[in-house]
Amino acid sequence: MAFDKEALVEQLSGLTVLELVDLVDALKDKWGVEAAAAMPMGAFAAAAPAEGEAAAAEQTEFTISIKDAGGSKLQVIKEVRAITELGLKEAKDLVEAGGVVKEDVSKEEADEIKEKLEAAGATVEVK
């Protein structure tokens, strides 16, 4: 059986609103799904968890903080300046006081920043 998309579109175009509602309900029952809210173009719906499974949302944005500059404070300041594009004084203050280096970054970028700062001698926390 060949699929004729144009014929199907033409047939659906001739249905009334009530017939379309009945069709949607029948498809939901047949496939065991619920209609999702409309999403902007380019967005994808997350897969629904299987029944009985805990829905654990995966974290997608991370915050990198310096807990301790370590013994090589100058190297850490250089890395912070390269990562954040802060001035020398601002980077020095951030490294000495500890605090957030970068917020809302991807997992890959967070791992990369953590690796660079730890290589320079800092103790880093990723949340």
Q: What confidence score (pLDDT) does residue 35 get?
A: 63
Residue 55 pairs in a beta bridge with none
The CATH code for residues 62-126 is 3.30.1390.10
User: How far is Cα of residue 2 from the mean position of the Cα atoms in its chain?
Assistant: 40
Gap between the Cα atoms of 26 and 33, Å rounded: 10
Instruction: Give CA separation, 35 vs 21, 78, 90, 126, in Å.
Output: 12, 52, 51, 37
- Give residue-wise pLDDT tens across range 53-94: 544 567 788 888 888 888 888 888 888 888 888 888 888 888
Q: What is the pTM of this model?
A: 0.51
CB atoms within 10 A of CB 2: 3
pLDDT above 80 (res 46): no
Closest by CA position to 94, among listed 127, 65, 120, 123: 65
Chain mean pLDDT for the chain = 80
Q: What confidence score (pLDDT) does residue 49 get?
A: 54
Q: Where are the beta strands (DSSP E) in the chain?
A: 62-68, 99-105, 123-126
- Give residue-wise pLDDT tens across range 104-119: 888 888 888 888 888 8
Write down the domain spans for the chain: 62-126
Q: What is the three-class DSSP state of 64?
A: strand
